[in-house]
Structure 1
Amino acid sequence: MSWVYGVDHDGAEGYYATNNEFLVSGSKGFTEMKMLENEESFLRIDLPGVPKEGLTVSLDPSKRFVLVTGEAPKFQHDSSDRKYGIFPGITCDCCELSGFTTDLRDGVLRLILSKINHMPQRTLLLLLLYLRSKGPHKFPHGSDPNDPVYTGPVLESHPCVFQGSGLAYESKQLQNGSLYVRVDMPGHPKERFTVSVAYGRVSVTGEAPVVSHHDQGARFYSGDVAMLSTPVDIPSHRIQTIAKDGVLRLIIPSV
């Protein structure tokens, strides 16, 4: 069998969201931030592949930032495990962080930071620092789903990844002729995806629903993950699927 990997996009128009080639609607960017009314700030951070036991969040003794790290273990056919790191913090000298709450589900961390403002007339500023920062994705871009900074022909690597692949797609042919595919769809529950095959194209869809009233909205993923060199169909039930922590993995058998 001969495989053609990847998704088919028009390079002239580019991608809806440069953080994930499968995202077709909803909030763009690896992170988003919202200032709340009660001296708190909301952060959404995509950490696909990270289980609850792989997340660590701690308040720095300076009370200026929190350290967020996540470990996404290597699946059998992944190229490697992935490690994430990010430091959400404050830049003004009139405030200090007093605590935080976390909610990690389906590869998305929702983080609420609480602060004490010693000078109430001043405004809190948040800064996101990455252990290894790449690309143009810096706060405050990304809070607007229509922000053109996150649209274009070039895909960006996840800036929070400091070990392993920062891209949302991975594929390789196995020794038995099957094709292995990893697709990041952060926020999608393990039951909210479909896999279909038509004319040799293997396609996936997934929905990341709103789970917090702070979310800007649902996100929807869709795209071709593999194409045969000839238009041969494979019954979808023959494709092994593993959905966990916002990552969909497929093992597509040879024909």
Structure 2
Amino acid sequence: MVVSLPPQSQTSSLFYGVNNPYLKNGPKGFKEYKILKNGDTYLRIDLPGVPKKAAVEVSLWADDKGVEALVDAPKQHKHDSSQRTYCPIIGFMCGRCKVLRFTSQVCDGVLRLVLTPTARILGGRFLGGADWEETYFCSSAAHWLPYASDPTDPSLTGPVLEPNPSVNEGSPMAYESKRLPNGSLYVRVDMPGVPKDRFTVSVADGRVTVTGEAPAVSHDSDGRFYSGDVALLDTLITFRRRWIKTIVKDGVIRLIIPNL
């Protein structure tokens, strides 16, 4: 018999990242942000299940102080409980700057944004008659984003998993399982940022383990490594890895594990 193995903390009481129970190393949090050298603001937002060619609707706020996105992650398998709809919100906590322009990209269940803020231009004329001009950008503290996070923040390690705050509809958690009519077990595991060829499924000591490696892309602070047991096998026969059907797409792996 095969039974689901809900996420468990990696120590006796703590998850390395409260955003994902399978995250073992790398940046934590559903979002991370940084101020680039040219003054732009970079954001990485986890939206597992969102296709690369999804129609991502990113729009400016009315006051140009931030952006919001609306995007769907469709049901990729008939056993998914539902589709998921995301609506991440990003805004500056700064009284001076506004968003001048932005670019967006979706890849492997991650939305990456680069926001270009308005800058302060200071200038004048030297005593000798030559003009001078210098551009100043606000500090990262001034551009603190209330809906993003510092990926090294120790508060992102803890005993309780958090739901994805960008989810408007559907499951906000990284794990889902369902017993099928034929006795098989269906499992969905979110590992945003992991390409299709970086997932590994293994069977050892009666446990089904999923591992994923997410490389650093664009301005990500680092890559991420995921690993965890997702099912427990209670059978006297040798269970073969090839008996497990896997569906990998957009930072999500789905498994159908037969009941023997």
Same fold? TM cut 0.5: yes
Structure 1 position 176, deviation (Å): 1.1
Q: Secondary structure of the equivalent of 1:191?
A: helix
Deviations, residues 115-167 of structure 1 (Å, cap 9, x unaligned): 112474754424344xxxxxxxxx4x4332xx221112211111111211111
The sequence identity of aligned pairs, in percent, is: 51
Change in 2 beyond 3 A, CA 1:25/1:126: same
Q: Is the 8 A contact 1:200 1:231 kept in 2?
A: no
Between the aligned partners of 2:7 and 2:98, the Cα distance in structure 1 is: 45
Structure 1 position 228, deviation (Å): 2.2
Q: Secondary structure of the equivalent of 2:197?
A: coil
Q: Secondary structure of the equivalent of 1:29?
A: coil
Q: Is the 8 A contact 2:49 2:109 kept in 1?
A: yes
Please, which of 183, 191, 216 is the counterpart of residue 189 of structure 2?
Answer: 183
**Aligned AA (1:195):** V
5 Å-filtered alignment, 1:1-255, equals 1-9=1-9, 12-51=12-51, 52-74=53-75, 75-118=77-120, 120=136, 122-123=138-139, 124-129=142-147, 139=148, 141-144=149-152, 147-212=153-218, 214-230=219-235, 232-255=237-260
Change in 2 beyond 3 A, CA 1:7/1:97: closer
Change in 2 beyond 3 A, CA 1:116/1:236: same
Between the aligned partners of 1:121 and 1:53, the Cα distance in structure 2 is: 33
Larger Cα Rg: Structure 1 or Structure 2?
2
Which 4+ residue blocks in structure 1 deviate beyond 6 angstroms?
none
Change in 2 beyond 3 A, CA 1:202/1:69: same
Deviations, residues 32-77 of structure 1 (Å, cap 9, x unaligned): 0101121200001000001131422122342111111221112311
Q: Secondary structure of the equivalent of 1:248?
A: strand
Between the aligned partners of 1:219 and 1:81, the Cα distance in structure 2 is: 25
Between the aligned partners of 1:231 and 1:41, the Cα distance in structure 2 is: 55
Q: Is the 8 A contact 2:100 2:117 kept in 1?
A: yes
**Aligned AA (1:107):** G
Structure 1 position 8, deviation (Å): 4.4
Change in 2 beyond 3 A, CA 1:121/1:155: closer
Give 5+ residue unaligned stretches, structure 2.
Answer: 122-135
Structure 1 position 230, deviation (Å): 4.4
Structure 1 position 10, deviation (Å): 5.7
**Aligned AA (2:192):** P
Give 5+ residue unaligned stretches, structure 1.
Answer: 130-138
**Aligned AA (2:211):** T
TM-score normalized by structure 1? 0.88
- Aligned pair count? 242
Structure 1 position 236, deviation (Å): 0.9
Structure 1 position 106, deviation (Å): 0.1
Change in 2 beyond 3 A, CA 1:233/1:6: farther
TM-score normalized by structure 2? 0.86
Structure 1 position 231, deviation (Å): 6.0
**Aligned AA (1:22):** Y
Change in 2 beyond 3 A, CA 1:121/1:142: closer
Between the aligned partners of 2:137 and 2:213, the Cα distance in structure 1 is: 41
